[in-house]
Chain A
Amino acid sequence: MAASAVPVLELSGIHKGFPGVKALSDVRLRLFPGEVHALMGQNGAGKSTLIKVLTGLYTPDAGEIRLDGQTIAPSRTEDAQSLGIRTVYQEVNLCTNLSVAENICAGRFPRKSLLGGGRIDWGAVNAEARRVLAQMDLDIDVTAPLSRYSLSVQQMVAIARALRISARVLILDEPTSSLDDAAVQRLFTVLRRLREQGLAILFVTHFLEQTYALADRITVMRNGETEGEYLASELSRLALVNKMVGAPPDQQPTRLDSRAPTVGELALKAEGLSRRGALHPLDLELRRGEVLGLAGLLGSGRTETARLLFGADAADAGHVQTQGRTGRWHSPREAIAAGVAFCSEDRKHEGAILDLSVRDNILLALQARRGLRLVMSREQQQALADDYIRRLGIKTASADTPIGQLSGGNQQKALLARWLATEPAVLILDEPTRGIDVRAKEDLMDAVRALAHKEDGKGMSILFISSELPEVLHCSDRVLVLRDRRAAGVYRRGELDERSVLEVIATEPAAA
């Protein structure tokens, strides 16, 4: 650790409020050069708001931001950028149709001299992109469109773009939430190198493993306030979780549920379900009151399976059988009518209707199934929404608040409520724990098991998809392991542990 005693960036007494919500209250944060600083906290703790204050997207109501001891007041993102505060957001904001080099240089293209007409110097653009990527040990064709590369490479390109102009502070908002393990390791190598170069890195994540693998210093936020700043080496994991959650330090959550579930009749069955370029023919059985986990690496066909089972994409071959009917879905409507629900992993693009209220968002699927006739009176709608807000612990000023104003985890809960309100027989959850904190994850997994494991054996059937292997193993009664877009095997609860699943995934497929 090459930490000097003087912070490069220091925030103190930051306050920020929104109508009806106090988002930040007396928040402080210190970033030191040559250090990775992890910002930890539950959903709604104020991490995202704090970052928006740092990047000039929000102006704080009170408080001071000092860069190298000088007070700064970034009121636009450009201000923060020109001061050397660079941010890579959770959702990669790049143009996938443009080349890697264009993405890296966009906004500040190297130009030819006025004699050359002042036009963009494409040779310099590509050379510049290669130079920045080389700093990160990434050697790719910078003239190829970004869409050709995986999400992890796109993430690296986003970081390269941020680093191109001399950066003092690099802010990474959940950079790893869509990356698989190998990609995370690669990213960390890059970040360690940047740390050695003296950059101050603020790293927002929900993964404890990653925090301890990388961070030198940790700031914990809770309910919009700074809980404390700690050296990573002096803070145990248990202590960290407790500080995030706010529980007394002697209570460790213990949960062991090895009870065999009551498994009922067949709820959903797929035979030979396939789609070119997405999934090889797949058979799958889901019984009533059962949680079936889908495990596999990024790109193994998990999401593709879910989308075919829901009719979000049309299958080329095969059919899906439910209690109601057998056939091939042509649209999500048909799947919904047959009692299937699907919570997409991409809540921003495929889930939330951002401008609409939490209530309308919760009601949408139920109303859509009914058609134009209102499912219930306004009062009943309100009661239903309030009920789910309370039961799922959705943090919102009211049911009338636009869902876009909620934090990511709370949006996720509202979307879960949307589908629970339709009382589905089969619930497909694609990465329901992505981007939400430790405590909320555990709550969610408990809720998933409770939905399925009813005493009378009449629970929901749940398809649980997560890139977090421990979560899949913890939740599922059976696990279907996917590899290279086909099933690699189905295992009962207890037959597999993390290591053996990884072995299944890593097994070389038989030569075709």
Chain B
Amino acid sequence: MKFPMNTLARPLAALALLLAVAAIFVPGFLHLEIKDGHLYGSLVDILHRAAPLMLAALGMTLVIATRGIDVSVGAVVAIAGTVACVLVGSHGLAVAFAAALGAALLCGLWNGLLVSALGLQPIIATLILMVAGRGLAQLLTDGQILTVYEPASFFWLGGGHLLGLPVSLFVVAAVAGLTAQLMKRTALGLFIQTVGINPVAARLAGVRTAAIVFFVYVYCSLGASLAGLIIASNIKSADANNAGLLLELDAILAVTLGGGQLSGGKFSLAGSLIGALIIQTLTSTIYALGVPPQVTMVVKAVVVFAVCISQSSFWSSRRTA
């Protein structure tokens, strides 16, 4: 998969501008220090906090590339986190993680089945799980927030460090790297784009269109489950109501900010990661600036609006016409 720099230029510029604004107005924003062998600072914090969103955005990128959409990401986050929290005390870390991934796999299979085999509209198909998923997660905990006290190893994923950096970053790097390799070393990226641009022609050329669509929903759910594990590990509990709430919308936004088109086709994994970082930088900076919480959403909306407008095809079509 190629990532042409010109498509990344705008999201990168937006991110750089945001960072520059933050560096000017937030004291010590660029400051990094090593404490207890760990790297600390606002920049590291942003990366760490953006990890779940980046994982969700990677999956959403592929789903959107096939002209689809997955609004059940937040629900899958809740399910995976809850399953892990319910099992980790009694059955240990390995079983808990495996069960969480297994549950997400089932979610992905369900979404894929509805979209590719039954031909439901993606937004409706995944809306079913969006609504039902949190309900399922709440059933597992009787509607209570389930707090995990042990094993301590459970907290490593979302709160621990490796080589001085948050573990969550290694998870993102591994998933992103693996996905990029998958796109580069196999024809998956070509098929995903083909299905997104012209599904009829794709089928006539012999592409397994249904299998490709199936795959992206499963992949998206698995990414969401990793996000769910990181969140649960970080807050040391299962919050079926609020964990990953509206994460799907931020993921869609991240893809869009990264230059992805909701009409499918060409996609950029790197662009979506940058999009996720833009969102998290914005959120963190607004908090750091002490903007009153009631205004936060408005500020966020204005910035997102500006970035989206700057990327609109309106400008490029004016230029080349």
- Check if B205 sits within 8 Å of A364, measured CB to CB: yes
Question: How many of chain B's residues touch chain A, expressed as a range?
Answer: 20 to 34
Q: B39 on the interface (CB 8 Å rule)?
A: no
Residues of A within 8 A of B208 (CB): 333, 368
Quick one: which of B190-214 are within 8 Å of A by CB?
Answer: 190-191, 193-194, 197-198, 200-208
Residues of B within 8 A of A363 (CB): 190
- Check if B201 sits within 8 Å of A350, measured CB to CB: yes
Q: B186 on the interface (CB 8 Å rule)?
A: yes
> A58-B321, A360-B190, A373-B187 in contact; A368/B201 too (CB < 8 A)?
no
Residue of A nearest to B191 (CB): A368
- Check if A365 sits within 8 Å of B265, measured CB to CB: no
Q: B185 on the interface (CB 8 Å rule)?
A: yes
Q: B188 on the interface (CB 8 Å rule)?
A: yes
In this complex, the member of B187, B191, B197, B202 whose beta carbon has the largest number of chain A beta carbons within 10 angstroms is: B187
- Check if A351 sits within 8 Å of B203, measured CB to CB: no
Residues of B within 8 A of A367 (CB): 187, 190-191
Residue of B nearest to A18 (CB): B320
Residue of B nearest to A334 (CB): B206
- Check if A332 sits within 8 Å of B203, measured CB to CB: yes
New A-B contacts (10) at CB < 8 Å, excluding given A349-B200, A370-B187, A372-B186: A312-B204, A336-B206, A344-B204, A350-B200, A351-B204, A352-B198, A352-B201, A354-B198, A364-B190, A372-B187
Q: A342 on the interface (CB 8 Å rule)?
A: yes
Residues of A within 8 A of B201 (CB): 344, 349-353
Quick one: which of A371-389 are within 8 Å of B by CB?
Answer: 371-375
In this complex, the member of A342, A355, A418 whose beta carbon has the largest number of chain B beta carbons within 10 angstroms is: A355
Report how far A367 CA is from B205 CA in the complex, Å. 9
Q: A356 on the interface (CB 8 Å rule)?
A: yes
Residues of A within 8 A of B200 (CB): 349-350
- Check if B266 sits within 8 Å of A333, measured CB to CB: no
Residues of A within 8 A of B266 (CB): 355
Q: A331 on the interface (CB 8 Å rule)?
A: yes
Residue of B nearest to A354 (CB): B197
Report how far A401 CA is from B193 CA in the complex, Å. 16
Name B194's contact: one of A59, A75, A353, A373 (CB within 8 Å): A353
Report how far A355 CA is from B191 CA in the complex, Å. 13
9 smallest beta-carbon distances between A and B, as pairs? A368-B206, A372-B186, A336-B206, A368-B207, A365-B205, A364-B205, A367-B187, A333-B206, A353-B197
Report how far A368 CA is from B198 CA in the complex, Å. 14
20 pairs of residues in contact across A and B, judged by CB atoms under 8 Å: A75-B321, A312-B203, A332-B203, A333-B206, A352-B198, A353-B198, A353-B201, A355-B193, A355-B197, A356-B193, A356-B197, A365-B205, A367-B187, A367-B190, A367-B191, A369-B206, A372-B188, A374-B185, A374-B187, A375-B187
Report how far A360 CA is from B197 CA in the complex, Å. 13
- Check if B198 sits within 8 Å of A349, measured CB to CB: yes
Q: Mark A182-204, 1 if CB is under 8 A from B, else 0.
A: 00000000000000000000000
Residues of B within 8 A of A372 (CB): 186-188, 191
Residue of B nearest to A76 (CB): B321
Q: Mark A242-260, 1 if CB is under 8 A from B, else 0.
A: 0000000000000000000
Residues of A within 8 A of B205 (CB): 332, 364-365, 368, 418
Residues of A within 8 A of B204 (CB): 310, 312, 332, 342, 344, 350-351
> A349-B201, A350-B200, A365-B206 in contact; A356/B186 too (CB < 8 A)?
no
- Check if B185 sits within 8 Å of A353, measured CB to CB: no
Residue of A nearest to B264 (CB): A355
Report how far A140 CA is from B224 CA in the complex, Å. 56
The minimal Cβ–Cβ distance linking A432 to chain B, given in whole angstroms, is: 15
Residues of B within 8 A of A332 (CB): 203-206
Report how far A372 CA is from B189 CA in the complex, Å. 9
Report how far A369 CA is from B206 CA in the complex, Å. 6
The minimal Cβ–Cβ distance linking B218 to chain A, given in whole angstroms, is: 15
Residues of B within 8 A of A364 (CB): 190, 194, 202, 205, 207
The minimal Cβ–Cβ distance linking B258 to chain A, given in whole angstroms, is: 17
Residue of B nearest to A337 (CB): B206
The minimal Cβ–Cβ distance linking B203 to chain A, given in whole angstroms, is: 6
Report how far A58 CA is from B208 CA in the complex, Å. 38
Name A355's contact: one of B187, B203, B207, B265 (CB within 8 Å): B265
Report how far A368 CA is from B190 CA in the complex, Å. 10
Report how far A351 CA is from B201 CA in the complex, Å. 5
- Check if A356 sits within 8 Å of B194, measured CB to CB: yes
Report how far A368 CA is from B201 CA in the complex, Å. 12
The minimal Cβ–Cβ distance linking A419 to chain B, given in whole angstroms, is: 9
The minimal Cβ–Cβ distance linking B134 to chain A, given in whole angstroms, is: 35
Residues of B within 8 A of A352 (CB): 198, 201
In this complex, the member of A312, A336, A360, A368 whose beta carbon has the largest number of chain B beta carbons within 10 angstroms is: A368
- Check if B186 sits within 8 Å of A373, measured CB to CB: yes
Residues of B within 8 A of A333 (CB): 206, 208
Report how far A147 CA is from B198 CA in the complex, Å. 22
The minimal Cβ–Cβ distance linking A338 to chain B, given in whole angstroms, is: 11
The minimal Cβ–Cβ distance linking A75 to chain B, given in whole angstroms, is: 8
Residues of B within 8 A of A369 (CB): 206
Residue of B nearest to A310 (CB): B204
In this complex, the member of B186, B204, B207, B208 whose beta carbon has the largest number of chain A beta carbons within 10 angstroms is: B204
- Check if A331 sits within 8 Å of B203, measured CB to CB: yes
